[in-house]
Structure 1
Amino acid sequence: MQEKLSRLGIHNQLDLILHLPIRYEDETHLFPIGDAPHGQTVQVEGVIIHNEVVVRPKRQLVCQIEDSSGILIMRFLNFYGSQIKTYAVGKRVRLLGEIRSGFFGTEMVHPKCRVVRAGESLEDSMTPVYPTTAGLTQKTLAKIIRQGLQDAQTVQALIETVPEKIIKKYRLKGFSDSVMCLHHPSPEESIEALQSRTHPAWRRIKFDELLAQQLSMRLHYRQRRSRNAPALEQKNTLTKQFLKQLDFKLTSAQIKVYAEINRDLAVAYPMQRLLQGDVGSGKTIVAALAALQAIENDFQAAIMAPTEILAEQHFVKLSAWFEPLGVQIAWLSGGLRKKQKQAELDKIVSGAAQLIVGTHALFQDQVIFHQLGLAIIDEQHRFGVHQRLALRMKGAQSDLMPHQLMMSATPIPRTLSMSYFADLDVSIIDELPPGRSPVVTKLIADNRRDEVIVRIHYACQQGKQVYWVCPLIEESEALQLQTAVETYEHLRKIFPELNVGLVHGRLSQQEKIEVMLLFKQGKIQLLVATTVIEVGVDVPNASLMVIENAERMGLSQLHQLRGRVGRGSEASICILLFQRPLSEIARKRLKIIFEHSDGFEISRQDLQLRGPGEFLGARQSGVPMLRFADLEQDSELLTAAQDTTNEMLNDYPELAQRHISRWLGDKTEYLRV
């Protein structure tokens, strides 16, 4: 039994009490058969007057139930031999189910049914239906929970952890009353309010859950501020030179965001800042300035990217910017030969390398930093919690933690940021550099391919470059590769006069870099690619992108891919080729990407479609996911919880600690990353 309960996340008395119903059945009322409403779940009672197993149209058990107001058919399509005896003629039964008109007359199919005595009393509270698991029936689980609620320990477990002052301020129901009400609501309670989770008892549970999350994250935020980090003051030596050599001016959003980072780096506790900016908003420049601030204070900076293509892009771009300043850069990736790798590792440990760029190879055991002052993680949501923590721990020598800057081009909706990133400081680049052209998005069905071919031909004749992105085939990398190669061969035949290139995940690092360089130099006019080009690729002359099977891709991926065009001053187009029939969710996704170009709005709608678990990648977020609260529907409760946090930690620290333990137990270990 313990093993079954643990599958449901029930490990102790408190888990059992907080295993709340997903819905309710109203067995507190009886309807006469003749007056029972159709199309909703009702309870009726009567005597079985006929019982037979019919074989047409298929084998089923059919019984007739009668009361003084009418007759009802009860049908079981799947049944045991024992049920034929149980539901014998003359037996009185109570049925719960939906009444509808059927082939045999007014009927209930597969109702909940039990034999009763005449005059047997009705339930005095609504019947809870719990989330359960294989081998654990509703009846058994409900019995265990009922016993748990009557246990003497339960009174202790349900003691109030929110101060009376806060309960009154937000007009909250008591915690113990709320839990008891949700497990056994009285017949007077609104079943609609219970099912939709808008009932005051649900409101209290959601508030408590959100408050625990906020308290826990604010506590980690405070703990981080009690640790030591190098104070990296702005010396304006390298940063000034760097800004002077750029052939463009920073946008006001970039200046504002850099000022926030610059201020954090100068303080002697570890920065933990998330830098958000839409595709193409210029996050890399801001990261470069932050890295230079660490370097001019004689500390090392490291930039970690999730893919070799993106890490390589950073390496090439930063080398071009930093080498004229005399800054030494090391490059670390899984694809390096043993001798090359050792040479890079020696540069890192000796301190000769001031900036280290790489993939997750950066946090392997053999990498020893001389003095890491700043860790920059690009596309941070692509890394697991353990990986992010490992890089930070790399630099934690001599009791100094490195500062950490995380970057994301997948903008995080406000409610999600308030909830899951409450322990981070957030900076947002909310404008694009001047001279960027908006991208026009077109939705074109697969059967109009010929029109797309004509458009590609015209764009290349005008001296423009084109991306053709092949579909994502999750089941098989080999299939994806095959599709890319076939598309490449097909397009070469159609366009013999064009230079067509191919880039995919199976190419060696060197081959990928060579193809991308030829594309960047304009020597390849049409580039066939898998989704490896999703982030970081910057070719201003590319003004047309075709994405095949766009209906298979997620919103953030489509938005990222679309961001590879429109990087110059030319008007750009992104064609989303889709195959019919479309599923409902695919139709919604394509509509959103067609109608919106603002990454924050796309993310907000994506969150509504997918929910926070999928949006964040629950496995990677490391933050306990919410079980009861809904960020969109309960945003006012989230604001209330946020407003309560500091008051609880400052004035009621013991209650705050008990509240966190109640809701999160041991799930808070990774919040610090």
Structure 2
Amino acid sequence: MPDTITQPVPSLLAPLLAGVETLGGVRPATAKLLARAAGGGRVIDLLFHLPESVVDRRYRPTLRQAEIGRICTLHVTIARVVPPPSGGGRGKRPWRVVVSDGTADAELVFFSPYQARGLEAGQDICVSGTLERFGDRLNMTHPDYLVPAERMGEIPLLDPVWPLTAGLFPRQVRNAIRAAFDIFPDLPEWQDSSVMKQRQWPGFEQALRTLHRPCDFPDLLEGDALVAAAERARARLACDDLLAQQVSMAQARRQNRLRPGRPIVADGSLRGVALSRFGHEPTVAQIRALAEIDADLAQPRQMTRLLQGDVGAGKTLVALMAMLGAVEAGHQAALMAPTEILARQHLATFTRLSPVPVAFLSGSVKGKARREALARIADGTARLVIGTHALFQDSVVFADLALAVIDEQHRFGVEQRAMLGEKGPQTDVLVMTATPIPRSLLLTQWGDMMVSRLDVKPAGRKPVRTSLHTLSAMGDLLVGMERAMARGARIFWVCPLVSESETSDIAAAEARHAALAAHFGADKVGLAHGQQDITVREQAIADFAAGRTRILVATTVIEVGVDIPDATVMIIEHAERFGLAQLHQLRGRVGRGHAESYCLLLHDNALGQTARRRLALLRETDDGFLIADEDFRLRGGGDLTGRRQSGLPDLRLASPLHVDMLLRLAAQDARRLVDTPPDRAPPAMRARMPAVSLLLDLFSRGQAVRAIRAG
């Protein structure tokens, strides 16, 4: 990797990486507000806080010429100031300031007295705002600007509008931005000069100035010149953002390729026993996926692979075979699941099939049993280990962890996944999911995670019929449930994601449980949520599985790890509040037997176009990759080199349109910069390399390898 791209931060960037409180005229309280609005407290964060629009204040007519409904800037004289009448309701009546420019009269209307109180008859002032007509009078309510006539130059011809936060005013942002440009350093160019010329892109500082301070460029004040200039400026900054991301990714990719591993070659002795106990031939997809995993494990580099397959497609068997391969080679393998229910389900499967003992570790394993499990893991007598988050705790020490399998990986954070992979010296990582989260989908699209796909449905598995219903049809729904239950149906009812608070979600589940118990009878309706004691929750699920209850009201605690073939109906309340991946997983709780199964997505009567499109996709397909593609398109890919797993992929200046237009360009440039040794690079590329180092620091692109290794 060229050292010229990874050199330490030089002092050249110090003014931009300093806190906004270092800017002249910015008080500490204002600095806090600016940091909140900009999403960071550095000067560069403020400069990256781009305006969302620009107000055109170039229209400066007389009152007689002015177009109604248009923003205009007027030079007028105050004729009289009319305060609100005294007595009751004073706070609700406006101040009125009658003004004239000699061609016509107008009224300035103020519901707050702040501006009006300082005005007197005879003053020459300039105001800017939207001119309206009220009856036969022209008026302007709360002008955006009001200054003495001699200070008319303070009203910008082109006025950027920044996103604000409570207590922060545009003038404070404007003044801070001006102070930031006063100390802006002279930075070298990191973009390819030929691309700059072809696309007519401005330099980095000029691009920022064009958007923040368009009035600094007189040529932009004519006609529609600003529109084209702003588009070029935003495109250039978006490509800076993408190039920084892609260089850090290319460095991580190169480091991953060079990261040494240890070849793991299975002899098949344990796998053969497990397959004989399984009693069925693996599907073609399972055989193919295992061959791909084996090929990766046999390489002298560490593996990061995604195993994707719909519910019931056989991911667990593939994982077991891969783990037994590591055991055959003399090492340990561990599987981490997000919930104890799912972990114990895997334990039951592994115990039934594996010819070697399986150790189990979770938060509920206490006392002597925990000490014994930890000892067996530490001394290597436990070759296969299954557990929950407890596996990556500091107290868990592996003798020789060679393969870490992470199930339902979207339920874990990046740090949690990385911590398990780091329990061994050169651990290979296999992550599994029924629907790839956008973050992993993004990694696979950009070549940092290989994918094995189980695309063969289990024999005899019927598709789940999915339909959309409004919440106003609740009465008809209850009648339909009664008919289904009369035919022996068992029904899941998943309650809505009320908020980010698990407590609120539980309250919704308890309320729905009470309502359904009142309608169908308390003996027929169970309740399962994450705050219950695990024995209570498991009993509720066991009662439902055995048919002692016919309806199970639950939160997303049943999203994974619940296998009840006789459950044939899934009702998801306020389905528009769930992610597509979650809806797909929840739907996978039914259709696991031979009977026809149904998924009913209940939604608000007033459903937005995007939400309707998302739910319609669930109705039209059960293909996990198609669903993940849509989830990625709607939510973005998350932060590849950081911790966010949804939203734009940590791109501050690049819109989705910019990503579509410029990603390939940035990715190709990044690969050339990273993969070309400095002594073989053309002079122009070699000259850019130190500047690219500055770019990485401006966009806070640090160590990407660890996050990518975590999947």
1:362 deviates by 0.6
Against the structure 1 CA distance between its residues 89 and 148, is the aligned structure 2 distance closer, same or farther, given a 3 Å change threshold? same
User: Which of 539, 563, 569 is the aligned partner of 1:544?
Assistant: 569
Q: Where do 1:161-310 residues align within 5 Å? A: 161-168=190-197, 172-185=201-214, 186=217, 189=220, 199-310=231-342
> What amino acid is aligned across from residue 321 of structure 1 in structure 2?
L
1:199 CA displacement: 0.2
Residues 230, 268 of structure 1: 8 Å contact kept: yes
Write the distance in 2 (CA, Å) between the matches of 1:17 and 1:493: 58
The 5-angstrom pairing of residues 394-433 of structure 1 reads 394-395=423-424, 400-412=425-437, 417=442, 423-430=448-455, 432-433=457-458
CA 1:178–1:258 in structure 2 vs 1: closer, same or farther (change >3 Å)?
farther
Q: Any conservation in 1 of the 2:310–2:454 contact (CA below 8 Å)?
A: yes
Using the size of structure 2 for normalisation, the TM-score is 0.81
Kept in 1, the 8 Å contact 2:637–2:646? The answer is no
Aligned CA distance change for structure 1 residues 105 and 563 (closer, same or farther; 3 Å): farther
**CA distance in structure 2 between the partners assigned to 1:557 and 1:193 by the alignment:** 47
Listed as ranges, the matches of 1:424-573 within 5 Å are 424-430=449-455, 432-474=457-499, 481=506, 484=509, 488=513, 491=516, 500-517=525-542, 519-520=544-545, 525-573=550-598
For residues 382-436 of structure 1, the C-alpha deviation after alignment (integer angstroms, 9 at most, x for no partner) is 22233222222222xxxx3211122233434599615997643344445543432
- Cα separation, partners in 2 of 1:196 and 1:429, compared to 1, 3 Å: farther
Which residue of 410, 427, 430 maps to 1:381? 410
SS of 1:139's equivalent in the other structure is helix
Per the TM alignment, residue 510 of structure 1 is displaced from its structure 2 partner at its CA by 3.7
> 1:90 and 2:126 equivalent?
no
- The 5 A counterparts of 1:322-341 are 322=354, 326-341=355-370
CA distance in structure 1 between the aligned counterparts of 2:129 and 2:522, rounded to whole angstroms: 69
State whether structure 2 residue 57 is matched by structure 1 residue 32.
Answer: no
SS of alignment partner, residue 54 of structure 1: coil
Q: Deviations for 1:96-138, whole angstroms, at most 9, x for unmatched residues?
A: 3223344673332222123243695587863333345566543
The structural deviation recorded for 1:487 is 5.1
Question: Size of the alignment, in residue pairs?
Answer: 661
Partners in 1 of 2:315 and 2:69 — Cα distance?
Answer: 56
Q: Deviations over 1:471-502 (max 9, x none)?
A: 44447656655664565566567557986544
- How many Å apart are 1:240 and its aligned residue? 4.3
**Partner of residue 142 from structure 1, selected from 150, 160, 174:** 174
Three-state SS of the structure 1 residue aligned to 2:656 is coil
AA partner of residue 306 (structure 1): P
1:234-273 deviation per Cα after TM superposition (whole angstroms, max 9, x unaligned)? 4333334444544555444444443332222222222122
For 1:623-642, what aligned pairs fall within 5 Å after superposition? Answer: 625-632=650-657, 634-642=659-667
Distance in 1 between the 2:445 and 2:564 partners? 34
SS for the counterpart of 2:402 is: strand
Q: Secondary structure at the match of 2:211?
A: helix
The CA deviation string for residues 437-488 of structure 1, in whole angstroms up to 9 with x for no partner, is 2222233344544543443344444444322333444476566556645655
Deviations 1:187-221 (A, max 9, x none): 65499897899701100100110111111122122
| TM-score, length basis structure 1 | 0.85
The 3 A distance-change label for structure 1 pair 656 and 649 is farther
**CA distance in structure 2 between the partners assigned to 1:578 and 1:665 by the alignment:** 40
* Residues 91 and 72 (structure 1), Cα distance of their counterparts in 2 relative to 1, 3 Å cut: same
> SS state of the match for residue 246, structure 2?
helix
Q: Supply the distance in 2 between the matched residues of 1:194 and 1:247 (Cα, whole angstroms).
A: 71
User: Partner letter of residue 62 of structure 1?
Assistant: R
**Do structure 1's residue 342 and structure 2's residue 342 form an aligned pair?**
no
**1:519–1:275: structure 2 CA closer, same or farther, 3 Å change rule?**
same
Shift of the 457–87 alpha-carbon distance from structure 1 to 2, 3 Å rule, reads same
Per the alignment, in what secondary structure is the counterpart of residue 627 of structure 1? coil
Of residues 65, 71, 82, the one that matches 1:41 is: 71
Distance in structure 1 (CA, Å) of the matches to 2:325 and 2:584: 32
Tell me the C-alpha RMSD between the 2 structures. 3.9
| Residue 380 to residue 94, structure 1, CA distance change in 2 (3 Å) | farther
Matching residue of 1:76: 110
What code does the residue aligned with 2:83 have? V
- Which has the larger displacement, 245-254 or 560-569? 245-254
Quote the residue 1:657 is aligned against. 693
Using a 3 Å threshold, how does the CA distance of structure 1 residues 616 and 579 change in structure 2: closer, same or farther? farther
Separation in 2, partners of 1:655, 1:515 = 61
SS across alignment from 1:394? coil
Question: Aligned partners of 2:320 and 2:629: how far apart in 1?
Answer: 29
Compared CA separation, residues 111 and 597, structure 1 to 2 (3 A): farther
Q: Deviations over 1:548-598 (max 9, x none)?
A: 344544443333211211223432111234465667776665455445544
Where in structure 2 are there 5+ consecutive unaligned residues?
1-20, 23-27, 677-684
In the TM superposition, what is the alpha-carbon distance from 1:347 to its structure 2 partner?
Answer: 1.8
State which drifts further: 349-358 or 180-189. 180-189
Q: Is residue 2:97 matched to residue 1:63?
A: yes
